[in-house]
């Protein structure tokens, strides 16, 4: 799995990347007071949101395409190496508790497997073959989406994942932080968030990582909104798996319905603890079984179920 690329060629390639550029004006940063370094870093971070804003049309187009396929039962798969891979795994892992998705519905793949979450796996990011094997284990089809994530936009694992997924008929998205990237070019939807050189030369866990996190937040969150996982800005598909989330569930029902505590408890009991069903029970004066049926018929969209109940 070790790369056979000529180190001189790779160095030349890195020299051409915006994310790898050296900033001579920061060459003495280690001599500055801590507060000054913090101010510099904070100023750098403030520029990331604007870079993301400049690509909102491309992000929105990708989201609409993802949601269309997921509505047909497809999966959202993130694939990346290093920081990019970890961010994908993080976003995927937060979908089940936030939106009550099945763990197989949003998947994070990182080059080198779970071990790579906490330690570097030598050569993993350089392997297109590893990406193909990881995706083949998922048995992709045309309803699935694969999002390749790479700050440089040149990581073989991410590019290999996108190329293989596209060959299988899946939708593909390439998320990079350099212009004219190979990753974006390989994908159906290329999203390039150009944040510029990092505070520490080549440390793309900084601005590039922040940009990737912001975009992944949008991809998953807005897709779930489109799939009916929210009611307004309320997480009505939240999974109440601990005391905090059980309290949040009751609060969400209260905010959505204005009902008192006793009615909320009765509705949640009738709904088997499902927040969305409990809200429908209260707002449409239904029993739990009818509310469940209407939600199933509406594809899980609460507003549509409410409309059909009146």
* Domain range enclosing 260: 243-309
Model's pTM, two decimal places? Answer: 0.91
What's the pLDDT at 240?
Answer: 80
State whether 157 and 298 are in the same domain: no
How many residues are listed for the chain in this entry?
A: 310
Domain of 183, CATH number, reads 3.40.50.10490
For residues 158 and 160, give the distance between their C-alpha atoms in angstroms, rounded to a whole number: 5
How confident is residue 16, by pLDDT bands cut at 50, 70 and 90?
confident
Instruction: Determine, yes or no, domain membership for 3.
Output: no
Query: Does residue 89 have a pLDDT over 80?
Result: yes
Quick one: average pLDDT of 35-54? 97
Residue 151: phi, psi to the nearest 5? -60, -45
Q: What is the CATH number of the domain that holds 248?
A: 1.10.8.1080
Residue 10 has pLDDT above 80, yes or no: no
pLDDT in tens, 130-162: 999 999 999 999 999 999 999 999 999 999 999
Asked whether residue 201 is assigned to any structural domain, the reply reads: yes
Question: Do 22 and 131 share a structural domain?
Answer: yes
- The residue annotated as part of the active site, out of 44, 125, 192, 198, is 125
pLDDT digits (tens, 9 = 90+) for 159-204: 999 999 999 999 999 999 999 999 999 999 999 999 999 999 999 9
Residues 219 and 247 in one domain: no
Domain assignment present for 238: no
Per the DSSP assignment, residues forming a β-bridge with 146 are: 77, 172
How does DSSP classify residue 2?
-
Residues 168 and 275 in one domain: no
Report pLDDT for 250. Answer: 95
- Overall average pLDDT of the 4-17 stretch: 63
Number of structural domains (the chain) is 2
- Chain mean pLDDT for the chain: 93
Q: Average pLDDT, stretch 82-87?
A: 96
Residues 254 and 221 in one domain: no
User: Residues 20, 25, 44, 94: which is the catalytic one?
Assistant: 94
Kindly state whether residue 92 falls inside one of the protein's structural domains: yes
Task: Tell me what the mean pLDDT of segment 272-277 comes to.
Answer: 94
Query: Which of 195, 226, 257 represents a domain boundary (last residue)?
Result: 226
Q: What is the CA radius of gyration of the chain?
A: 22
In whole angstroms, what is the distance from residue 275 CA to residue 287 CA? 14
**93 occurs within a structural domain:** yes
- Residue 125 appears among annotated catalytic residues: yes
Claim to verify: residue 248 and residue 221 sit in the same structural domain: no
| Tokens read off for 143 | 């309803």
Which pLDDT does position 125 carry in this prediction? 84
pLDDT at 3: 46
pLDDT tens sequence across 225-269: 999 999 999 999 987 878 898 899 999 999 999 999 999 999 999
Rounded to 5 degrees, what are φ and ψ at 137?
-65, -20
Give the largest Cα separation in the chain, rounded: 71
> Is 212 a domain residue?
yes
Parallel/antiparallel/unpaired status of strands 171-176 and 145-150: parallel
Q: What is the share, in percent, of the chain residues with pLDDT greater than 70?
A: 95
Q: pLDDT band at 121, cuts 50/70/90?
A: confident
Question: What is the spatial order of strands in the sheet that 106-110 belongs to?
Answer: 106-110, 76-80, 145-150, 171-176, 189-192
End residue of a domain, out of 226, 258, 276: 226
DSSP state of 103: T
Does a structural domain hold residue 174?
yes
Closest CA to 195 of 157, 153, 148: 153
- DSSP character for 231? B
Asked whether residue 179 falls in the same domain as residue 292, the answer is no
């Amino acid at each position: 799995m070790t790369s056979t690329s000529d180190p001189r060629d790779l160095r030349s390639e890195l020299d051409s990347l915006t994310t790898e550029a050296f900033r001579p004006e920061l060459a003495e940063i280690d001599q500055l007071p801590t507060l000054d370094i913090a101010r510099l870093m904070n100023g750098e971070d403030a520029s990331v949101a604007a870079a993301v804003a400049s690509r909102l049309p491309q992000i929105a187009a990708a989201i609409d395409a993802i949601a269309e396929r997921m509505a047909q039962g497809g999966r959202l798969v993130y694939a990346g190496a290093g920081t990019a891979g970890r961010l994908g795994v993080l976003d995927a892992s937060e979908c089940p508790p936030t939106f009550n998705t099945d763990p197989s519905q949003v998947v994070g793949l990182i080059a080198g497997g779970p071990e790579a979450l906490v330690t570097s796996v030598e050569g993993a990011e350089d392997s297109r073959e590893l990406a193909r094997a990881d995706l083949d284990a998922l048995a992709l089809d045309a309803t699935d989406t694969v999002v390749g994530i790479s700050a440089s936009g040149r990581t073989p694992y991410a590019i290999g994942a996108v190329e293989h997924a596209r060959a299988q008929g899946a939708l593909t998205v390439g998320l990079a932080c350099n212009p004219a990237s190979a990753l974006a070019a390989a994908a159906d939807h290329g999203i390039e968030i150009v944040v510029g050189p990092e505070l520490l030369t080549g440390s793309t866990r900084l601005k590039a990582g922040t940009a990737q996190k912001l975009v992944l937040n949008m991809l998953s969150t807005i897709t779930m909104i489109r799939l009916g996982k929210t009611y307004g800005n309320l997480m009505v598909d939240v999974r109440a798996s601990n005391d905090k989330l059980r309290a949040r569930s009751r609060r969400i029902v209260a905010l959505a319905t204005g009902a008192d505590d006793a009615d909320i408890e009765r509705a949640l009991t009738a709904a088997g603890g499902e927040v969305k069903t409990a809200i429908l029970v209260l707002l449409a004066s239904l029993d739990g079984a009818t509310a469940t049926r209407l939600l199933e018929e509406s594809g899980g969209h609460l507003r549509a179920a409410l409309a059909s109940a009146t």
